[in-house]
């Protein structure tokens, strides 16, 4: 029977744990006649062997292409006949099955999701087709300067850590993947005690839990313990990586190793990212594009990661401005360590970040995604409120201390005409 009921924050989030270990999160939001569901699994690319990189992504591509009872065409017809949405995705830190439909059809679509999760058939022809499509996608990315710059930066920073490889995998690794690899990965990770089901929409928490219990309650957990994840360390060895490519612009990226989402300095670095590279009013955009005209595109991003993350700034610039772009990006980042933000600058960053955070929880799909993500990452549903409190409590001194700690010598990734980057 369900247990551990938790009510929390302005929206009441009900948390139940079924007897088989499935965690059910439910938020009643009757504003629209839609129910969104996110089914998270503790899987994803960081659970893959290095030589089988791309395995979880391939599984996400073929998971909905057949079950023991239904063909891929029959699955598609069931979804499209009621105008519903269902898809599978793989990320570094989790695997996800997403569905959305009107409340009347939700039990039917959730039942279909249950069949897909519990009895996929992995048809050989579908596996081969999706494998070839992924390889084409990998090859296509090698022609895109931004993707090339990011890929070589990621490999340089993470070395042998799974984050060092794209979720897609590599052309070599994907070429070697087989149906038996998918079955082994599925048997290892797809089990009820490894699942979080997050539901938001026009449904009561009691009804939501009852439906999950009806469809998934008899799914027995595997007696074999879940595999222990042992990740390699991420050494700090910054250097410059270059990739000659005949393009009309150079791509310059600076990368800094940064803390995971569980770290106390996570909030401060999120604010620095907002100040530095978030939007048309950000420091990088104003200083390097508007005032100096150096950038076609300039920004920064700091990924929310379960393990060691990265803080990255980048610029697309005319080839002749490549060296100036490197110096400009470095100067703006290093400035954050040498002088603190003013109270006004920090408050503007807080208002922007918290405003965007609130806008990211407007729809049922967004609510189901946010709460399910926090649960699967091990943060718990209270992190939603804790994060906002942490943001409000950050001081200028705290942001400067974080910058001094993490914005040391950067990894540098360059892609552009050979005569320029060399």
Question: How far is it, in rounded angstroms, from Cα 375 to Cα 359?
Answer: 20
Backbone angles phi and psi of 386, in degrees to 5 = -60, -40
pLDDT tens for each residue of 234-258: 999 999 999 999 998 999 999 999 9
User: Given a cut of 60, is residue 20 above it in pLDDT?
Assistant: yes
**Which two three-digit tokens encode residue 336?**
């954050």
pLDDT tens for each residue of 106-153: 999 999 999 999 999 999 999 999 999 999 999 999 999 999 999 999
Task: Please tell me whether the overall predicted TM-score, pTM, comes out greater than 0.85 for this model.
Answer: yes
pLDDT tens for each residue of 52-85: 999 999 999 999 999 999 999 999 999 999 999 9
Is 103 in contact with 201 (CB distance < 8 Å)?
yes
How would residue 11 be classed by pLDDT, with cut points 50, 70 and 90?
low
3-class SS at 223? coil
Question: How far is it, in rounded angstroms, from Cα 390 to Cα 315?
Answer: 30
**β strands within 184-333, DSSP E:** 195-201, 240-244, 250-258, 295-302, 309-317
391-400 average pLDDT score: 98
Our measurement of the distance from residue 345's CA atom to the centroid of its chain's CA atoms, rounded to an integer in Å, reads 28
9-27 average pLDDT score: 89
Cα separation of the two ends of the chain: 65
Options 3.30.1330.40, 3.40.50.300, 3.30.830.10, 3.30.465.10; CATH for 13-216 is: 3.30.830.10
pLDDT tens for each residue of 206-233: 999 999 999 999 999 988 998 888 889 9
User: Given a cut of 90, is residue 370 above it in pLDDT?
Assistant: yes
pLDDT score for 27: 96
pLDDT tens for each residue of 314-346: 999 999 999 999 999 999 999 999 999 999 999
pLDDT tens for each residue of 179-198: 999 999 999 999 999 999 99
**Percent of the chain residues past pLDDT 90, beyond the cut:** 91
Q: Where in the chain are the domains?
A: 13-216, 240-421
271-286 average pLDDT score: 96
The CATH architecture that domain 240-421 belongs to is: 2-Layer Sandwich (3.30)
pLDDT score for 5: 41
Question: How far is it, in rounded angstroms, from Cα 93 to Cα 105?
Answer: 30
338-363 average pLDDT score: 96
In sequence order, what are the residues at sequence separation of 6 or more whose Cβ sits closer than 8 angstroms to the Cβ of residue 227?
47, 188, 189
Same fold, 13-216 and 240-421: yes
The CA-based angle 198-99-103, given to 5 degrees, is: 85
3-class SS at 228? coil
Question: How far is it, in rounded angstroms, from Cα 313 to Cα 331?
Answer: 12
CB neighbourhood size of 392 (10 A)? 11
User: Given a cut of 60, is residue 8 above it in pLDDT?
Assistant: no
Is 19 in contact with 88 (CB distance < 8 Å)?
no
pLDDT score for 7: 39
Question: How far is it, in rounded angstroms, from Cα 269 to Cα 309?
Answer: 11
Is 187 in contact with 263 (CB distance < 8 Å)?
no
What order do you get walking across the sheet with 411-416 strand by strand?
Answer: 240-244, 411-416, 250-258, 309-317, 295-302
Question: How far is it, in rounded angstroms, from Cα 393 to Cα 343?
Answer: 12
pLDDT score for 12: 86
3-class SS at 128? helix
Mean pLDDT of the residues in the chain: 94
CB neighbourhood size of 333 (10 A)? 23
């Amino acid at each position: 029977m369900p247990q551990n009921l938790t009510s929390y924050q302005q929206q009441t989030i009900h948390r139940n744990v079924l007897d088989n270990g499935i965690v059910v999160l439910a938020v009643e939001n009757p504003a629209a006649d839609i129910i969104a569901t996110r089914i998270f699994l503790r899987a994803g690319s960081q659970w893959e062997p290095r030589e089988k990189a791309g395995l979880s992504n391939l599984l996400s591509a073929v998971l909905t292409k057949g079950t023991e009872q239904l063909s891929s065409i029959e699955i598609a017809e069931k979804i499209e006949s009621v105008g519903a949405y269902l898809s599978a995705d793989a990320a570094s830190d989790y695997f996800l099955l997403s569905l959305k439909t009107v409340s009347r059809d939700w039990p039917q679509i959730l039942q279909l999701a249950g069949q897909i999760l519990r009895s996929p058939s992995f048809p050989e022809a579908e596996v081969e087709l999706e494998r070839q499509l992924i390889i084409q996608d990998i090859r296509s990315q090698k022609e895109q300067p931004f993707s090339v710059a990011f890929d070589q930066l990621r490999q340089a920073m993470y070395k042998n850590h799974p984050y060092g490889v794209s979720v897609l995998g590599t052309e070599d690794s994907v070429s070697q993947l087989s149906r038996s690899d998918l079955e082994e990965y599925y048997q290892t990770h797809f089990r009820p005690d490894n699942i979080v089901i997050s539901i938001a929409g026009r449904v009561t928490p009691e009804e939501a839990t009852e439906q999950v219990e009806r469809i998934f309650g008899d799914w027995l957990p595997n007696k074999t313990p879940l595999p222990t994840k042992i990740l390699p360390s991420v050494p700090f060895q910054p250097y410059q990586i270059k990739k000659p490519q005949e393009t009309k612009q150079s791509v310059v990226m600076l990368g800094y190793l940064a803390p995971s989402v569980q770290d106390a300095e996570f909030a401060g670095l999120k604010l620095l990212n907002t100040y530095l590279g978030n939007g048309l009013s950000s420091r990088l955009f104003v200083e390097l594009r508007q005032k100096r005209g150096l950038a076609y595109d300039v920004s920064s991003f700091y990924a929310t990661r379960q393990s060691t993350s990265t803080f990255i700034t980048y610029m697309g610039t005319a080839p002749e401005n490549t060296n100036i772009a490197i110096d400009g990006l470095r100067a703006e980042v290093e400035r954050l360590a040498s002088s603190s933000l003013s109270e006004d600058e920090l408050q503007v960053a807080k208002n922007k970040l918290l405003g965007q955070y609130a806008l990211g929880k407007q729809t049922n799909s967004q609510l189901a995604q946010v709460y399910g993500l926090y649960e699967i990452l091990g943060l718990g549903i209270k992190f939603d409120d804790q994060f906002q409190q942490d943001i409000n409590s950050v001081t200028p001194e705290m942001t400067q201390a974080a910058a001094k700690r993490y914005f040391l010598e950067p990894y540098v990734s360059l892609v552009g005409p050979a005569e320029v980057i060399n």
